[in-house]
Structure 1
Amino acid sequence: AGMALIAVGVLLPLMWREAGETTEEATDAPGLVPTDTGHAVHPGPPLWRSLLAWQVAAFMGLQSTNYYVLITWLPSIEQDAGISDTTAGLHLVLFSIFGIGGSLGCSALLARLRNQQVLGACIALVLGVANLGIMLAPGATVVWACVAGIGGGSSIVFALSLFGMRARSHRTAASLSGMAQSLGYILAAVGPVAVGALHDATGSWTPPMAVLLVLSGCLVVAGLLAGRDRTVD
């Protein structure tokens, strides 16, 4: 936390100076902003008032929460189900390996799709299947770890790609990235702590995994909304 405060102290003056320069540029061409193609366009509403931006942020936050909860607690869930710590660790390795495959597969599909709604929803469903399997059959987590890896690797690539696909200019893409990642990783940071606390309170992994399953359902909705062929600007 101390290092973060130091970073904020360094970055704030730079952000204020950049904001001043942006204001001067806007004065030269009031009401217009440049795009990557060099054409000036009218800016859209502020990102904080854009439903699409919030939908992108929701997908980013929910998929990140799912990933960090699993990477944090999956070995503990397996150990409580009677799986040795060594085997649980190997399953976490599989989780990461299959995540690489999922990220590469998602990248290939994104290049072929103009509308990403179905892909976003399918990725969320894959994570939901993994969460349901972990909740109902933790003894078979080697299977669910692989499925979750595919979903997790796909979801992060999908989320990061949305920043560029939902914006027409590099400036808007950068702003959308900042908004979505700030909100998303705040949610992701809270997730593992909240899941651990819920486990301590109930003495079981079923309630935490049920919550994660509900979040997977919310991720399906976020994928359908954020995957539409629209832009925030």
Structure 2
Amino acid sequence: MPSSTRSRRTRTLPAPRSGHRAGALSVVGLILLTLNLRAAITGIPPVLATLQADLHLSGTQAAVLTTLPVLCLGVFAPVAPVLARRTGTETVLAGALVLILAGILLRTLPTQAALFAGTLVAGAGIALGNVLMPAVIKRDFPDRIGVMTGLAMTLMAATGALAAGLAVPLTAAGGRRAALTVWAAPALAAATAWTLLAVRRTPLGPPAAAAPAAAGTAPPASVLRSPLAWAVSALLGIVSLCFYVLVAWTPQIMRDEGYPAAEAGAMTSVMLTIGIPLGLAVPIAAARVRDQRPLVATVIALKAAGLTGILLAPQQAWAWTGVLGVAIGAAFPLAMTILGLRSPDPATAARLSAMAQTGGYLLAGCGPAAIGILHTLTGGWHTPIVFLIACTVPELLVGLVAGRSGFVGAR
């Protein structure tokens, strides 16, 4: 055996004891990573009025502040797989979590510039983590994609809801700085864990010269030429668009239908809470079958039913928001699971994730504003809701392509 081959194998195959410890740390790292991918975003809207009063933000500045994190998720997504190939996945994730930590702390400074700069920095870190999370699951837990994706989705949903729920009480108890600073602790813990993991830095995939592509698959760069990759990306994009539009506008829709502000807010909260257990159940169910099209069709049918119900029978809004809670609570975890299942290797998972999240979050970032403009132009919510119902048609079409068994890049 040539010496170069022996050397390469020695570096690739760790000792059993070291591998076991590394595997446990990888689980801890994944858990800590997911705890930091929503809280820095969802903790801002509930205290927006306080921020406006303290820092003298205009209405336009407040709108930009709430839209900026979602746009960051799309703008910075393409950078993640490039950095991961050059410096290693663990190094990029450690850096991403340092960015989240820095952004959280920067936002506590009493200036408008610090608030916006901190939001931008934290958004960049979250974007990198979002993209690489499916690749890490694909690489480290290839036989447990459903379970680990479900765990990640559940923790993301739970911490996002917790951050939104604690924002106002923490602000009342200790001011806006307390509400913003509390999430620095999990960011510091996660950055520490991924720094330790970076010691055994692992790229997402071997260079093409070192290891040929698996039989039946093309190199990862082929994602932009893959119809399946475009279908997965379009599915995630439409799912994200509908989610952020409903989160942004459901309270106002219900208030305009005559519900008190507190009840309208409670409907939105229940709609989001329903999705927490679905974040675990749906990926597990999706990973157990080869064909996810029946699940895709069911989730989209529920979304269309919930939107149609709000349009035609708003007096039963509690029932319809419950249906929408099931639909949007299942849709994002299902789309993320499909992304992992359609990827033949971690490198493809990272590239596909970047491709899907770039378009998806840019579309989602523009969605609430576009729906608001449509509402203003038409003077009501009928046309915007009809538009969302119409979006379920292309969502179903691309979902049926994305949900079919196969791999991106397969010949």
Q: Does 2:370 correspond to 1:188?
A: no
SS at match of 2:288: coil
CA shift in 2, pair 1:107/1:217, >3 Å: same
Q: Which residue of 2 aligns with 1:27?
A: 209
Tell me the equivalent position of 2:147.
none
Amino acid at match of 2:259: I
The one-letter amino acid of 1:126's match is: L
Q: Partner letter of residue 15 of structure 1?
A: L
Residues 34-80 of structure 1: CA distance to partner in whole angstroms, max 9, x if unpaired? Answer: x6xxx896526621111100100111011111111111100111111
Assess if the C-alpha contact under 8 Å between 1:78 and 1:139 holds in 2.
no
Relative contact order higher in (CA < 8 Å, ≥ 6 apart): 1
Q: Does the Cα contact within 8 Å between 2:240 and 2:364 map onto a contact in 1?
A: yes
Residue-pair matches, total: 221
The one-letter amino acid paired with 2:369 is: V
Aligned to 1:15: 83
Tell me the equivalent position of 1:133.
309
TM-score of the superposition, structure 2-length normalised? 0.49
Q: 1:197 aligns with which of 373, 376, 384?
A: 373
Q: Which amino acid aligns with 2:340?
A: G
- 8 Å contact 1:56–1:159 — kept in the other structure? yes
Q: Which residue of 2 aligns with 1:155?
A: 331
- The equivalent residue for 2:284 is 108
Task: Answer whether contact 1:125 1:217 (CA < 8 A) is retained.
Answer: no
Residue 341 (structure 2) aligned to one of 142, 153, 165? 165
DSSP 3-state at the match of 1:26? coil
Report the secondary structure of 2:343's partner residue.
Answer: coil
Q: 1:91 to 1:18 in 2, by over 3 A?
A: same
| Equivalent-residue separation in structure 2 for 1:123 and 1:84 (angstroms) | 29
Identity of aligned residues (%): 33
2-structure distance, mates of 1:15, 1:111: 29
Q: Is the 8 A contact 1:102 1:151 kept in 2?
A: no
Distance across 2 between alignment mates of 1:40 and 1:128: 37
2:399 matched to 1:223? yes
Residues 42 and 184 (structure 1), Cα distance of their counterparts in 2 relative to 1, 3 Å cut: closer
Radius of gyration: which is bigger? 2
Structure 2 counterpart of 1:174: 350
